[in-house]
Amino acid sequence: MPGEKDIHGAREGRRELKRRQTRGRIEDAAMALFLDRGFDQTTIEEITEAADVSKRSFFDYFPSKEDVVSAWQDTFADHLAEAIAARPGGEPMARVVEEALSATVVAAFNPQSLAVSKLIRATPTLSARDQLKYAKLESCLTAALLSRCADGETERLRVRLLSAAVIGAMRVGGEQWHQAPRGTTPEALFRSLFAELKDVLSAFGSTSA
């Protein structure tokens, strides 16, 4: 019938919007409680009460408390993919990565992200899972870069190697950030690490067996 598709689409749109809003409300309530009381000290019942949802609703969106923190971290990967897509066409891949990552790192550093980082380091269950974010980030970076490059196994391999090297450097950078001199900015640390990465790869390529 005429208009039936439009009505159905609008209904689906409203339903999806409501789901996003509910998920966001749960995530916001949980993160606020984690930062205020500590991760282990916060119960799922307290989260559902603060978010005004049922316990069943919580598990519809998040299998566990740990998954709330993981979902919060995943926003970094989403912003990185957007930053890569926004880079000019034809730009060298290494520059795309450096500029997009630099912008994403700078945007991600705020009082809340620093507090979450501190929470993760202080919570064994979160610290153990924290390394998984790098695997997700590498996969996201690879997919975003592949969407910009030409087809071909050689090019795809180069993108995968670039992603692995860059995310490895970010892992090291995350460890160094907590030991960096007072006053060091996220962008300065990232630019320094990227320069070091390029030097290491250049030296590695010129080293004879």
- pLDDT per residue as tens digits for the range 15-44: 888 999 999 999 999 999 999 999 999 999
Which of 97, 59, 58 is closest to 194 using CA atoms?
A: 97
Please report where in the chains the tokens 């907590």 appear, as a residue: 178
Q: Assign a CATH topology to domain 1-62.
A: Arc Repressor Mutant, subunit A (1.10.10)
Domain(s) labelled CATH 1.10.357.10 in the chain stretch across 64-209
Q: What is the mean pLDDT of the chain?
A: 86
pLDDT for position 109: 83
Reduced 3-state DSSP string for 117-129: HHHHHHCHHHHHH
Share of residues in the chain with pLDDT > 90 (%): 44
Domain(s) labelled CATH 1.10.10.60 in the chain stretch across 1-62
Per-residue pLDDT reduced to its tens digit, 59-93:
999 999 999 999 888 888 999 999 999 999 889 88
Instruction: Output the pTM of the full model.
Output: 0.75
> What are phi and psi for residue 147, nearest 5 degrees?
-70, -15
Q: Would you say domain 64-209 falls under CATH 3.30.420.10?
A: no
Reduced 3-state DSSP string for 43-63: CHHHHHHHHCCCHHHHHHHCC
pLDDT for position 146: 92
Angle between helices 65-85 and 132-146 (to 10 degrees): 30
